[in-house]
Amino acid sequence: MSDTKLKTQKLITVEKIGGDSRSFQLEVTATLDAVRAELSKDGFMTPEDSFLFNKAPVDHKQEKTITLADLLGAEGSTIYIGKHGNLKTPDGVDKYNQLTGSDKNALFDSVYIYRGLILTNDGLTRSTRGDVCTWSGLPTPTQPTVTSEKSTDYSFSELTSSLTISGMKSGSVSVATPFADAKAEYKHSQEHSTNKKDATEYLVSRMWVRKIFLRVDPKKMTAQPEFAQEVEEAVAYKTDPNSSNYARLLAVLDDWGYYVPLEFTLGGAIYAKESTTITSFEESTKESTDFGASVSARFDGIGGGGDYKQADGKDSTTTETGKYKHTILRALGGSPVIAESDYFAWVQSLGYAINWVVIENLKLCPTVALLPKSDTITRVIKTIEKNAGLPGDHNFINMPNYRTDIQTILDPYH
């Protein structure tokens, strides 16, 4: 890359909102102005495009001081670029209903709400294949009952921890787990540790700033034709589905996504995560309390506390402790946060709808339930019934329960 000393090159996927995606070999320590020069060589990135951080545009003037590594995070391999000029600058949930229809659609495009959700070892992610569905009309908005809130949760599974960060409500996704509660999860972690005595406890503390709650009518959702065609081909058996049909079905769903949101919250969130080793289940509550107290003190010290206290939220922790004093805080939505001094600006930036992201997924709809042909849906259900639970099944989705999720959407009283 020109004018940049090569240190660490990495293959990066660059996805353009409203366009295609390409892969580039890029220097992760380069500043964004140098990355822009590289992406602009063949016209893929235009002067009107912005780099997006949590779907919010990075100020062009800051590109000389922000590196590609800042945009990627610790283990990221995808960045987003695009134009957001079609979305005006409304400030806050009280302005949502004053947005034009095109502004609302631009908002939903910016948070990739039509993309399917996939469950992996990294938690909940959105498909990069493209939109799996469309809406006819807009969702119903509601003012959140609790506009801001702090909470601390613990688990003994990295997957469960990741779902907490993504704001996944318990029970809204059919997770394949060998445990029924926290204590069983603890025993599972302990049994799989090196010495069979220790367990890894995963701690997550979040501060939500909720701006708008939205509900979509599944009857107004339609699967994209390409997705529908691929599912239909996967389950095109003559008499009974076999393991090959099942493997093809899982491959399609892994590509396009298993779920899309029906009920979700837009806004911003700050979160912190840590892990610690414990030797008894009773230690888990103390570690959670200590961690929550430390992070809560950090929340109050960055300006988020002021915004939080003006709302009818919940808070149960007040003092900082030494063990977790240097925990890194991360932001979802809002303006880019590079240093601790940026958090006050982050809170203020949530006054603009363009900076909102999905911070809670409260109810999900299986993508299969949106298929236009009832015969294809029936074939999918039969394919799952005949093959789920056999070797090669999905590692993270409980497929028999996923089948039930499909049936529940189609017939709540089945």
- With beta carbons less than 8 A apart as the criterion, state whether 59 and 355 touch: no
Q: What is the mean pLDDT of residues 97-119?
A: 86
Residue with tokens 């394949």: 176
Give the mean model confidence (pLDDT) for residues 159-188.
72
Strand, helix or coil at 31?
strand
pLDDT average, residue stretch 93-105 = 71
- Show the tokens assigned to 21: 């995606």
**pLDDT at residue 95, rounded to an integer:** 59
Checking if the pLDDT of 390 tops 90, the result is no
Concatenated DSSP letters for 42-61? TTSS-TT-EEEETTEEPPGG
Give the best-scoring range by mean pLDDT among 151-165, 304-318, 350-364.
Answer: 350-364
For the chain, the maximum distance between any two Cα atoms, rounded to a whole number of angstroms, is 65
Q: d(Cα 126, Cα 135) in Å, to the nearest integer?
A: 18
Confidence of residue 92 (pLDDT cuts 50, 70, 90): very low
pLDDT band at 322 (very low <50, low <70, confident <90, very high): low
pTM higher than 0.75:
no
* Residue 367 backbone dihedrals phi, psi, to 5 degrees: -60, -30
Q: State how far the Cα of 60 lies from the Cα of 209, in Å rounded to an integer.
A: 26
Mean pLDDT of 278-302: 76
Domains and CATH numbers, the chain: 9-82 (3.10.20.90), 87-414 (no CATH)
- For residues 70 and 382, the model is more confident at 382
Question: In this structure, are residues 262 and 216 in contact, taking their beta carbons and an 8 Å threshold?
Answer: yes
Whether pLDDT at 38 is above 50: yes
Please give the DSSP secondary-structure letter assigned to residue 181: S
Q: Closest Cα to residue 21, out of 131, 128, 111?
A: 128
pLDDT tens per residue across span 132-150: 999 998 999 998 888 888 8
Calculate mean pLDDT across residues 36-61: 81
